[in-house]
Amino acid sequence: MGNTIVVLTPVVHGLVKLAGLTPQTMEIEPGTLMNIWVPKETVTKNDDGDFVYVPPNKPAVLLLHSFGLDGIFTWFLQVLALTKDYSVYVPDFLFFGGSITDSTERSASFQARFVAKGLEKLRVEKVTLVGLSYGGMVGFKMAKMYPKLVKSMVMSATVIELTESISRDSYKRLGITKWSDLLMPETVDGLKYLFCAAFYNFPWLPDFVYRDILETMYTNRKQRNELLEALVVPDNDASDTHFSQMIHLLWAEDDVIFTLDLATTMKKQLGENATLDSIKDAGHLVPLEKSSAYNKRLKCVLERGTKYQRADHKY
Ligand SMILES: *[C@@H]1O[C@H](CO)[C@@H](O)[C@H](O)[C@H]1NC(C)=O
């Protein structure tokens, strides 16, 4: 049986290339490599054949992926919808896709620093940050650490900080004892359970597809388990919820991992700069499951953002 992912990957990558992105591998520092999809027109070569990056020529959008997939598998449906009007950047976090480090750090802040350094090399100065799940948690860190870089945020299926009490509530709902039980499945049944929890309505797939996904997508197991362990913080350590950016929470009504109730609480904590919008009949991985409803709302937020930006220039 051919490997489904081996067949699917060039199809997805081909579509994304047609939409105008190209993959780049950049050395962030010795021992740390970033794989990131960037707008083709921002990549040039100098006389020595080295890559030289030019700033984006459209408003930049940064898409930060979930724990279960790499950057492009999480976001290809948004890339296809956005590249006409936006310069889209899709990195793989460390230990996902093609990004790797020999550092022993595992925190979300470490991933945030990694992404910000990559964007600096790519000469991106301002982004709207779009985060899903783990990508949202790293995104909230980025927003705090780099307020000039992160102009506004669109967040789904995520939390500002994964505290012990939020984790306990999710564990109870999901019947697990730690995040890796759900997010690092070792068997076909485990992976089926993850998809069942992550989607409102996941289509039937033959077992060999699940086996293929387990084999190809769940690499760097030791490091990813460490990422999950580093993510959960004591309730008292949770950082403050004051952000200078506008934050648009875009929620799936049927997210069983981080519920709409949790999003409502977050909106209250975030205060006047947060909005909350929800999408029906959708689960945790809402950009994949209900891509057209999600994209419509995302574009709306982005359009409003660029209008404000133009107004800023005028006055
Ligand atoms: C909302 O954003 C403004 C402007 O960046 C900031 O001054 C204010 O403190 C923010 N409010 C909250 C509740 O975070």
Q: What is the pTM of this model?
A: 0.95
Q: Are 106 and 14 in contact (CB under 8 A)?
A: no
Which pLDDT belongs to residue 200?
Answer: 95
Q: In the prediction, which pLDDT does 239 show?
A: 73
Helix (H, G, I), strand (E, B) or coil at 147: coil
pLDDT of residue 92: 98
State the pLDDT at residue 307.
Answer: 67
- pLDDT, position 165: 95
User: How much distance in Å is there from the Cα of 244 to the middle of ligand 1?
Assistant: 5
Q: Is residue 200 part of a domain?
A: no
Residues of the chain scoring pLDDT < 50: 1, 310-315
116 falls within a domain: yes
CATH number at 40 reads 3.40.50.1820
Residue 155's closest CA among 169, 173, 138, 172?
138
- Domain assignment of residue 168, yes or no: no
Q: Is residue 100 part of a domain?
A: yes
Q: What is the pLDDT of residue 217?
A: 87
Q: How far is the CA of 242 from the centre of ligand 1 (A)?
A: 7
Is 241 among the domain residues? yes
Q: Give me the number of domains the chain comprises.
A: 1
Please tell me what DSSP assigns to residue 105: -
Contact 38, 122 (CB under 8 A): yes
- Flag whether 73 is in a domain: yes
- In which domain, by residue range, is 58 found? 4-160+237-314
Residue 271: Cβ-neighbour burial (10 angstroms; 0-12, 13-18, 19+): exposed
Q: Is residue 108 part of a domain?
A: yes
Residue 3 has what pLDDT? Answer: 74
Helices (H), the chain: 4-18, 71-82, 108-121, 134-145, 164-174, 179-183, 188-198, 207-217, 221-231, 260-270, 286-289, 291-314
User: Within a domain: residue 205?
Assistant: no
Ligand 1: which of 150, 244, 268, 275 to mutate, judged by most atoms within 8 Å of the beta carbon?
244
